[in-house]
């Protein structure tokens, strides 16, 4: 699958004063957490109020708890646990973002859970899509995009988990499709972290 990149928008500069939220999503291995940490550190050094928050679902933890005991967690049970934990994290972080006078950069969101459901062959349901749409209505969303082979190399290098190439190909396709449907910015994150941060800052206008 050829690399597809939507050029960063320059018509939505970062506002000065008040709270604002940037959401970073993308397939596993796209560099979300590393890039967000570098972005926030750089913004703070430049005198821009910024902070990063994570919206994990606990997928690795839940899976590890069962596999360590030689058991397999049912897919629907795993999704239920994940959806509840991620929704709680998103709700809390969204509320605190409105109280922060600066930029809150979120690592993942409810759309990530929707992607997981599709990859598992599960229906999106009724509540989760509505919550996902409602909770990003005042936010800017950026998808970090990398070739699945590179994403897999990064995952193997960090030695925390493993994803098959087929899974990463499908995950990437879902995020790019979602980005095209929702009008999100897609940034090529296959280069250095510094390059990816520059692209994000260009998109934010800061």
* Structural domain contains residue 194: yes
What is the tens place of the pLDDT at every residue in 150-167?
A: 999 999 998 877 889 999
Judge whether 8 lies within some domain: no
Lookup: tokens for 148? 């699945």
In a domain, 7, yes or no: no
**Count of domains observed in the chain:** 1
Q: Is residue 80 very low, low, confident or very high in pLDDT (cuts 50, 70, 90)?
A: confident
What CATH number corresponds to the domain at position 173? 3.40.50.300
Task: With respect to residue 12, please indicate whether it lies within any of the assigned structural domains.
Answer: no
Q: Is residue 75 in some structural domain?
A: yes
How far is Cα 15 from Cα 197, in angstroms, rounded to an integer? 18
Instruction: Summarize pLDDT for 96-151 with one digit per residue, the tens.
Output: 999 999 999 999 999 999 999 999 899 998 999 999 999 998 899 999 999 999 99
Asked, for residue 3, whether it belongs to a domain, the answer is no
Task: Judge contact between 73 and 127, C-beta under 8 A.
Answer: no
SS3 content of the chain, % helix, strand, coil (to 5): 50, 15, 35
Q: By percentage, how much of the chain surpasses pLDDT 70?
A: 86
| Pair 148, 168: CB distance under 8 Å | yes
pLDDT category, 75, cuts 50, 70, 90? Answer: confident
Question: Does residue 123 sit within a domain?
Answer: yes
Is there a contact between 34 and 193 (Cβ–Cβ < 8 Å)? yes
What CA–CA distance (Å, rounded) separates 25 from 143?
5
In sequence order, what DSSP letters do the residues of 105-131 get, joined into one string?
EEE--HHHHHHHHHHTT----SHHHHH
Question: Any idea what the Cα angle at residue 93 is, between residues 105 and 174, rounded to 5°?
Answer: 60
Q: Which residue range is the domain that position 140 belongs to?
A: 20-204
Query: How far is it, in rounded angstroms, from Cα 106 to Cα 74?
Result: 29
């Amino acid at each position: 699958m050829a690399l597809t990149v939507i050029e960063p928008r320059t018509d939505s500069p970062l506002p000065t004063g008040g709270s604002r939220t940037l959401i970073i999503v993308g397939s596993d291995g796209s560099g979300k957490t590393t890039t967000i940490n570098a972005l926030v550190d750089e913004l703070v050094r430049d005198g821009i109020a910024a902070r990063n928050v994570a919206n994990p679902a606990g997928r690795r933890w839940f899976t590890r708890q069962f596999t360590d005991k030689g058991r397999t967690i049912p897919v629907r049970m795993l999704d239920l646990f994940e959806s509840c934990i991620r929704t709680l994290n998103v709700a809390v972080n969204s509320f605190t973002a409105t109280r922060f006078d600066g930029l809150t950069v979120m690592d993942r969101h409810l759309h990530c859970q929707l992607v997981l459901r599709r990859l598992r062959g599960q229906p999106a349901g009724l509540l989760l899509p509505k919550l996902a749409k409602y909770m990003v209505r005042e936010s800017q969303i950026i998808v970090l995009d990398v070739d699945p082979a590179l994403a897999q190399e990064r995952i193997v290098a960090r030695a925390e988990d493993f994803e098959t190439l087929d899974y990463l190909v499908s995950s990437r396709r879902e995020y790019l499709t979602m980005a095209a449907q929702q009008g999100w910015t897609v940034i090529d994150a296959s280069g250095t972290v510094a390059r990816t941060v520059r692209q994000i800052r260009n998109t934010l206008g800061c």
